Structure 1
Amino acid sequence: MKKYAYIGCLGFIAVITTEFGIIGILPQVAEYYKISIDKAGYLLSTFALVIALTGPFMTLLTSGINRKKVMTASILMFLITGIISSFSPPFWLLMLVRILPAFLQPVYIATALSVAISGADNSKKNELMSTVFNGVAIAMVTTVPFATWISGLYSWEYSFMIQAAVSLVALGNIHFLLPSMPVKEKKSYGSQIKILKQPSFILSTLTNFFMITAWFSTYSYFADYLGKAKGMDTSMVSYMLFLFGIIGIIANKIAGKMLNKNVTVTLAFFLSGTILIPVLLYISNGNLLATIFVIGIWGFLYSPSFLNASTYMISAAPDALEFANSLATSFGNLGVTLGTTIGGWIIITKGVEYTPWIGFIFGILAFLMIIVRNIIEKKGEIISSCSE
């Protein structure tokens, strides 16, 4: 039902504003707490690491609970985080309140997607999922750049106030517009966990992991990269985030339709950006117009990455949708952690201008995983046809 997909999308905007809103203000946070940029990056990488380590278990534990209650509790935690963070607490406390909602983020995403496609025809499921995932692109075009722009005008604490406000709106929509949705039939843990033995699913998981690592080695330091490598100020960075998100909304819509036709080809098409963008950023050098053009292409090819990763993993495990989704979220965030960590290390040791080339390497690894999965599946088809 489309209404449920839009409610899920609004909650996703709150989730993404909280997780990635920090990207635009990392330099200011580092300056305020008098720490290096890579240490400030822990606010993103630790958040992602908690998701990676606990996501599947939390999703399994909550799989029998009323879906409305799960979504409400998740967004409430994001609201509390935004409020406390806006008071510029000591760095250890800021880190702690950043970590808490991370436990429920994959639970929210898996539940919102499940609610969105409940009762839908198979032909419509990918488009409904893309509507929910549009929350990522919408956040990138509205709340994330707006929070960055406001922090540039006043101070970084205002960014967290924006995050809290978005979470409050999402919470109200879930509470008033989503009906009670008790789980009618809870699947056994064993029936869901067995997908971990399937080679195709393992390779899909590795594809997701390498792809997100590739993107976030640079994207985590978007503001720092554009500031130091391309000479843009905070205001210009916020405009670039806006451009990034606008194009991302279009990209998500296109990706949703493409996924209905061929999941693997769609994934490969958008994954090509991990190899193309580093080359284009290098060629654009200090040319402002060329850089803006490249950022537009970057936003188009990056934005559907979480949608593509989830759909690709689900295609290898269609009978365990929520668990597969939670694993997609977890390994995607493990990729965020690794990409952010390696990117931070490269910035400190070499310089921020070298971070896109990390994406180039991990992008190639992701392509190799797709090729291996295709080979294994074709062998399986040949064996099954011979046995018949």
Structure 2
Amino acid sequence: MPLALLALAISAFGIGTTEFVIMGLLPEVAGDFAVSIPTAGLLISGYALGVVVGAPVLTVLGAKVPRKRMLLMLMGLFIAGNLISALAPAFGLLLAGRVVAAFAHGAFFGIGSVVAADLVAPQKRAGAIALMFTGLTAANVLGVPMGTLLGQHFGWRSTFYVVAALGVIALAGIAALVPARPRDEDARLGRELAAFRNPQVWLAMTTTVLGFGAIFAAFTYIAPMMTEVTGFADTSVPWLLVLFGVGLFAGNLLGGRFADRALMRSLYVILAVLAVLLFLFTFTAHSRFGVLITLPLIGVFGFATVPPLQKRVMDQAPGAPTLASAGNIAAFNLGNALAAWLGGVVISAGFGYTAPNWVGALLAAAALGVALFAGALERRTARASRVVVARMPEAAVPAAR
């Protein structure tokens, strides 16, 4: 494994911790600022929307900047956002700090995915992307539970101080391990945007929005669901997050492995199983034993979507991998924001804390439908191309090839 992948994974660990740790601290934050749980959930959807805006904007603005320097600048922005969150005297400023940190998130993973893919052979690209995202899944196994535990005992602000410190460590890792390479002389905004004329790019991003959003519909409100519905104590929440994080970790690695072998078939299976699991979670959330079985499986199949979804959009935009990659990171977080909002809507409507689970199941099923349509369209286009080549005059065939 190239050491640069380790640096990217360390950075992903810090970013993943700040993104997900707030879910285990929603009750503490809501109580401190005297707001409802759905209102506190805006810290999740607001972060996600910050990624949606920041990913393409900062990627375009940094198109002429060498990738290593851009990664360092983004990590500096991430540190600043977490310090703002830690010091925020009001809910609005906490939300603003989350958005600042989120601006760094999307562009970092977008550029980082391209850097990771360029470090290995073409047939190992999904695996390299998965290794970078291992830091994100490790954050769910270690960073999020420990951050939740820290916040419960020493106040939620202490968590953001520690996350800022993680950002400093990540900054040092990038500076020391990521190779410095010249900027892309061929980078042009028009060239990057031209890739989005391919309908498959948009279909891939739509699959990302719906498929990854499915997980967040349930995961956003996991803390109140586990305490109010299942009956776990508040102190059990960090360990349940560890269980979920172990599933994410395994799913990310498996998703990368299978995506390198059969990307679309893997995606069909993963999304179908995820839809079933989320539907079942509506019922198993009432049982402690059911939660211990279902929760890690949702983690496995939920995060197994990440490598194939990220590689799919990069494959469909070979002339503009950086912007397409960042755009798909934005799509991941648009799904997060949509799902967090929908989960809050059904809870506020009185359907209870398990209602976001069936919302997630519907989103996963919709993602499967889009993926199946994209696959059918791709096969039809490939068949049409073969027919055109077959009908060409014999002398023109070699040139067409």
TM-score calculated relative to the size of structure 2: 0.92
Give the match for residue 31 of structure 2. Answer: 31
Name the stretch that deviates more: 198-207 or 284-293. 284-293
Aligned residues: 388
Stretches of structure 1 that go unaligned for 5 or more consecutive residues are none
Give the match for residue 41 of structure 1. Answer: 41
Deviation of residue 287 (structure 1)?
2.5
Give the match for residue 120 of structure 1. Answer: 120
Give the match for residue 254 of structure 1. Answer: 254
> What secondary structure sits across from 2:25 in the alignment?
helix
Give the match for residue 367 of structure 1. Answer: 368
CA contact (8 A) 1:214 1:359 kept: yes
Give the match for residue 111 of structure 1. Answer: 111
Deviation of residue 18 (structure 1)?
1.4
CA contact (8 A) 1:55 1:327 kept: yes
Name the stretch that deviates more: 134-143 or 217-226. 217-226
User: Which protein is bigger by CA-based radius of gyration?
Assistant: 2
Give the match for residue 157 of structure 2. Answer: 157
CA contact (8 A) 1:203 1:370 kept: yes
CA contact (8 A) 2:275 2:361 kept: yes
Give the match for residue 135 of structure 2. Answer: 135
Deviation of residue 93 (structure 1)?
1.4
Deviation of residue 88 (structure 1)?
4.5
CA contact (8 A) 2:16 2:137 kept: no
Give the match for residue 339 of structure 1. Answer: 339
Give the match for residue 398 of structure 2. Answer: none
- Structure 1 residues 164-243: aligned runs within 5 Å: 164-243=164-243
Q: Is 1:268 the equivalent of 2:271?
A: no
CA contact (8 A) 1:143 1:162 kept: no
Give the match for residue 66 of structure 1. Answer: 66
> What secondary structure sits across from 2:230 in the alignment?
coil
> What secondary structure sits across from 1:142 in the alignment?
helix
Q: Distance in 2 between matches of 1:322 and 1:220?
A: 29
Name the stretch that deviates more: 198-207 or 179-188. 179-188
> What secondary structure sits across from 2:369 in the alignment?
helix
CA contact (8 A) 1:86 1:161 kept: yes
Q: Distance in 2 between matches of 1:266 and 1:32?
A: 44
Alpha-carbon RMSD across the aligned residues, in angstroms, is 1.7
What code does the residue aligned with 1:123 have? Answer: Q
Deviation of residue 54 (structure 1)?
3.6
> What secondary structure sits across from 2:87 in the alignment?
coil
> What secondary structure sits across from 1:352 in the alignment?
coil
Task: Name the CA shift for 1:356/1:282 in 2 (closer, same or farther; >3 Å).
Answer: closer
CA contact (8 A) 2:252 2:306 kept: no
Task: Name the CA shift for 1:308/1:229 in 2 (closer, same or farther; >3 Å).
Answer: farther
Q: Distance in 1 between matches of 2:235 and 2:318?
A: 44
Give the match for residue 395 of structure 2. Answer: none
Q: Distance in 2 between matches of 1:237 and 1:194?
A: 46
> What secondary structure sits across from 2:180 in the alignment?
coil
Q: Distance in 2 between matches of 1:186 and 1:95?
A: 38
CA contact (8 A) 1:82 1:160 kept: yes
What code does the residue aligned with 2:9 have? Answer: C
Stretches of structure 2 that go unaligned for 5 or more consecutive residues are 390-401
Name the stretch that deviates more: 375-384 or 330-339. 375-384
Q: Distance in 2 between matches of 1:155 and 1:116?
A: 36
Give the match for residue 383 of structure 2. Answer: 382
TM-score calculated relative to the size of structure 1: 0.95
Give the match for residue 82 of structure 1. Answer: 82
Give the match for residue 325 of structure 2. Answer: 325
CA contact (8 A) 2:106 2:326 kept: yes
Deviation of residue 119 (structure 1)?
4.5
Percent identity over the alignment is 24
